[in-house]
C-alpha cells in the first residue's frame, strides 16, 4: 500500500512525496489506521523504522482537517520526550510533514531563554513537542494551558517511565480532558515498564510490536574487540585512520570520559565533536548541526544522544565503553543502519566489562562477532602509536618533566625560606 491511497490531506501527501515517503514502513502501516480511528496505541518497534512519522502523519492530518484557518484555538496535542535533542528532531519531522498545512508545531525545551518561547506560545500553536521540565515551568507560569489537549504522545516511552516521569505523566493526564487519546512509542520495553505503560492507556488499547524478538535492525552488523581500558584510545585512533571518510559516533559512559577521549584524539590531530549533558544547549545544538552537515565526522557522546536521534548516513557506532544497560546498547547502535542503509556497531570490551557484554549478548538475538586481535597485532597497534616518536609519548614525557620541574621549584622555595 502506498501513502497516496491513505485518507490523508493532499498537502500532507505532497509533503510525504517530496520527503521520499512512498510506502509506509511496518510500524507506520500498523499504527496509522488505529491512530486515525482515535484508538490508544502502545507501539514497540526497532530504532530507524519510522516511528516518529507513524504518529506525526495521522495527528497532523486530524488537526489540519479540524481547522478552518491557521489560527490556533490552543494546544490540542502534546508530545513528551526525554531529551532536548529529541524534541528538536521530532519538531523538524512534524514541521516537514505539516508544511503548507494549517497546523502549527513548536518544540519546547530547557537550556535556552524563555522569552522567545513564551512569545511563540502566546501567538498560538496546535502541537507542543516538549521535555517535561520546561513544560511544567511554563504551565506553572500560566503560559501553557492544557484545556484543549485531546492527544498525548510519549516518545521513548520506556526511558520516560524508567526515569520516573510517571508522576508527571499522570499529572498531565489529570489536567487534560478526560476523553483523550494516548500514544506510547518506544524501541525497547521491559516487563515492569510495560505494566506502567498499560496503566496509562485504555484497556482496549491497540498493542503493536514489530520484530519483538529482535530489538535491533537487521541492517546493523555487530562486532566486539577485546581491548584493555588504557589501550582503547590507540585502537580508536587506528580505527578512525583506517576509515577516514566514515561518519562515526563514539559512545562513552560519562561526561568526563567524553572530554578525555576528545582530548586524546585532539592530541593526534583527529578533529572531534563532543556532546553531553554538561554542555550548554546552544553548544549542543551547534555540535549536532556540524555533525549532521558533515563539517566533522567524529562525534563523541554520552547516552544523551542515543535516544531517537536521526543523523543521516552514520557508518559506524563505536561503543568505546559498554553501557550499563543492554537497552542502551540497542539505542546506541540504532543510530546506524537506519531505513534501508547498512551500518556496523563495534564495541571495545575491557576485561572488567565482560559481564556487560554477556548481558548485551543475551538481550540480542544475533551473535556479536569477535574481531580477533592477536597478541602480536595488539602489541603492534599499541607500540606503534605509543612509540618513542608518538604524540602520546611526547605528552607523557612533557607532563613528567613539568611535574619534576614543579618539585624542584618547591624545594628551591623551601630552601630560600629557611635562609
> In this structure, which topology does domain 220-386 adopt according to CATH?
Rossmann fold (3.40.50)
CA dist., res. 83 & res. 284, Å (int): 12
% the chain with pLDDT above 90: 57
Going from the C-alpha of 165 to that of each of 65, 133, 159, 172, 405, the distances in angstroms are 32, 10, 9, 11, 53
The predicted structure's pLDDT at residue 398? 52
The predicted structure's pLDDT at residue 402? 55
The number of beta carbons lying within 10 Å of the beta carbon of residue 204 is 7
The number of beta carbons lying within 10 Å of the beta carbon of residue 200 is 19
Q: Where are the domains of the chain?
A: 3-209, 220-386, 391-419
The predicted structure's pLDDT at residue 203? 82
Task: Write the pLDDT tens digit of every residue in 115-137.
Answer: 999 999 999 999 999 999 999 99
Cβ proximity of 131 and 109 under 8 Å: yes
What is the average per-residue pLDDT within 354-383? 88
User: What are the phi and psi torsion angles at 333 (to 5°)?
Assistant: -70, -15
Lowest mean per-residue pLDDT among 74-88, 150-164, 220-234: 150-164
Cβ proximity of 331 and 306 under 8 Å: yes
Asked if pLDDT for residue 164 goes beyond 80, the answer is: no
Mean pLDDT of the chain: 87
Using pLDDT thresholds of 50, 70 and 90, give the confidence band for residue 83: confident
Handedness of CA 127, 131, 132, 134 (dihedral sign): negative
More confident residue, 408 or 122: 122
% the chain with pLDDT above 70: 89
Asked if pLDDT for residue 403 goes beyond 60, the answer is: no
More confident residue, 277 or 103: 103
Lowest mean per-residue pLDDT among 58-72, 93-107, 319-333, 388-402: 388-402
The predicted structure's pLDDT at residue 1? 73
The predicted structure's pLDDT at residue 5? 86
Asked if pLDDT for residue 397 goes beyond 60, the answer is: no
Asked if pLDDT for residue 142 goes beyond 90, the answer is: yes
CATH fold match for the domains 3-209 and 220-386: yes
What is the average per-residue pLDDT within 362-389? 80
The predicted structure's pLDDT at residue 388? 41
Asked if pLDDT for residue 399 goes beyond 60, the answer is: no
Asked if pLDDT for residue 56 goes beyond 90, the answer is: yes
Lowest mean per-residue pLDDT among 111-115, 150-154, 161-165, 314-318: 161-165
Lowest mean per-residue pLDDT among 95-104, 140-149, 358-367, 400-409: 400-409
Lowest mean per-residue pLDDT among 14-28, 76-90, 256-270, 373-387: 373-387
Using pLDDT thresholds of 50, 70 and 90, give the confidence band for residue 404: low
Chain CA centroid to CA 10, Å: 32
The predicted structure's pLDDT at residue 65? 94
The predicted structure's pLDDT at residue 393? 45
CA dist., res. 349 & res. 412, Å (int): 47
Three-state secondary structure readout of the chain: CCHHHCCCCHHHHHHHHHCCCCCCCHHHHHHHHHHHCCCCEEEECCCCCCHHHHHHHHHHHHHHHHCCCCCCCCCCEEEECCCHHHHHHHHHHHHHHCCCCCCCEEEECCCCCHHHHHHHHHHCCCEEEECHHHHHHHHHCCCCCCCCCCEEEEECHHHHHHCCCHHHHHHHHHHCCCCCEEEEEECCCCHHHHHHHHCCCCCCCEEEECCCCCCCCCCEEEEEEECCHHHHHHHHHHHHHHCCCCCEEEECCCHHHHHHHHHHHHHCCCCCEEECCCCCHHHHHHHHHHHHCCCCCEEEECHHHCCCCCCCCCCEEEECCCCCCHHHHHHHHCCCCCCCCCEEEEEEECHHHHHHHHHHHHHCCCCCEECCCCHHHHHHHHHHHCCCCCHHHHHHHHHHHHHHHHHHHHHHHHHHHHC
The predicted structure's pLDDT at residue 341? 85
**Cell numbers at residue 78, please?**
502534546
Cβ proximity of 36 and 58 under 8 Å: yes
The predicted structure's pLDDT at residue 119? 96
> In this structure, which topology does domain 3-209 adopt according to CATH?
Rossmann fold (3.40.50)
Task: Write the pLDDT tens digit of every residue in 243-283.
Answer: 999 999 999 999 999 999 999 999 999 999 999 888 888 88
What is the average per-residue pLDDT within 316-335? 91
Q: Would the pTM of this model clear 0.85, i.e. be above it?
A: no
Nearest residue to 109 (alpha-carbon basis) of 120, 100, 101, 124: 120
Amino acid at each position: 500500500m502506498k501513502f497516496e491511497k491513505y485518507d490523508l490531506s493532499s498537502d500532507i501527501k505532497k509533503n510525504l512525496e517530496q520527503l521520499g515517503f512512498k510506502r509506509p514502513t511496518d510500524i507506520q502501516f500498523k499504527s496509522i489506521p488505529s491512530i486515525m480511528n482515535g484508538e490508544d496505541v502502545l507501539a514497540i518497534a526497532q530504532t530507524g523504522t519510522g516511528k516518529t512519522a507513524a504518529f506525526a502523519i495521522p495527528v497532523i492530518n486530524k488537526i489540519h482537517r479540524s481547522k478552518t484557518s491557521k489560527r490556533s484555538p490552543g494546544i490540542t496535542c502534546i508530545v513528551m520526550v526525554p531529551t532536548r535533542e529529541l524534541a528538536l528532531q521530532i519538531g523538524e519531522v512534524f514541521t516537514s510533514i505539516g508544511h503548507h498545512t494549517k497546523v502549527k508545531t513548536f518544540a519546547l525545551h530547557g537550556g535556552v531563554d524563555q522569552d522567545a518561547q513564551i512569545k511563540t506560545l502566546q501567538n498560538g500553536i496546535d502541537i507542543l513537542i516538549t521535555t517535561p521540565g520546561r513544560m511544567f515551568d511554563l504551565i506553572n507560569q500560566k503560559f501553557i494551558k492544557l484545556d484543549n489537549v485531546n492527544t498525548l504522545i510519549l516518545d521513548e516511552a520506556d526511558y520516560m517511565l524508567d526515569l520516573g516521569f510517571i508522576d508527571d505523566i499522570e499529572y498531565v493526564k489529570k489536567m487534560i480532558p478526560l476523553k483523550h487519546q494516548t500514544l506510547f512509542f518506544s524501541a525497547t520495553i521491559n516487563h515492569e515498564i510495560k505494566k506502567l505503560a498499560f496503566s496509562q492507556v485504555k484497556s482496549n488499547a491497540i498493542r503493536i510490536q514489530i520484530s519483538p524478538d529482535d530489538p535491533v535492525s537487521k541492517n546493523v552488523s555487530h562486532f566486539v574487540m577485546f581491548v584493555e581500558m588504557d589501550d582503547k584510545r590507540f585502537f580508536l585512533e587506528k580505527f578512525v585512520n583506517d576509515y577516514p571518510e566514515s561518519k562515526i559516533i563514539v559512545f562513552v559512559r560519562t561526561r568526563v570520559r567524553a572530554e578525555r577521549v576528545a582530548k586524546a584524539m585532539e592530541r593526534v590531530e583527529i578533529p572531534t565533536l563532543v556532546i553531553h549533558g554538561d554542555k550548554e544547549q546552544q553548544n549542543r545544538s551547534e555540535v549536532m548541526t556540524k555533525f549532521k552537515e558533515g563539517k566533522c565526522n567524529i562525534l563523541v557522546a554520552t547516552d544523551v544522544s542515543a535516544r531517537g536521534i536521526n543523523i543521516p548516513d552514520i557508518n559506524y557506532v563505536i561503543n568505546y565503553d559498554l553501557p550499563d544497560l543492554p537497552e542502551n546498547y540497542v539505542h546506541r547502535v540504532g543510530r546506524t543502519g537506519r531505513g534501508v542503509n547498512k551500518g556496523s556497531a563495534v564495541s571495545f570490551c575491557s576485561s572488567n566489562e565482560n559481564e556487560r557484554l554477556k548481558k548485551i549478548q543475551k538481550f540480542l538475538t544475533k551473535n556479536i562477532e569477535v574481531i580477533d586481535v592477536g597478541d602480536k597485532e595488539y602489541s603492534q597497534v599499541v607500540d606503534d602509536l605509543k612509540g618513542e616518536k608518538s604524540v602520546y609519548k611526547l605528552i607523557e614525557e612533557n607532563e613528567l618533566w613539568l611535574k619534576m620541574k614543579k618539585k624542584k621549584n618547591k624545594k628551591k622555595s623551601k630552601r630560600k625560606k629557611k635562609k
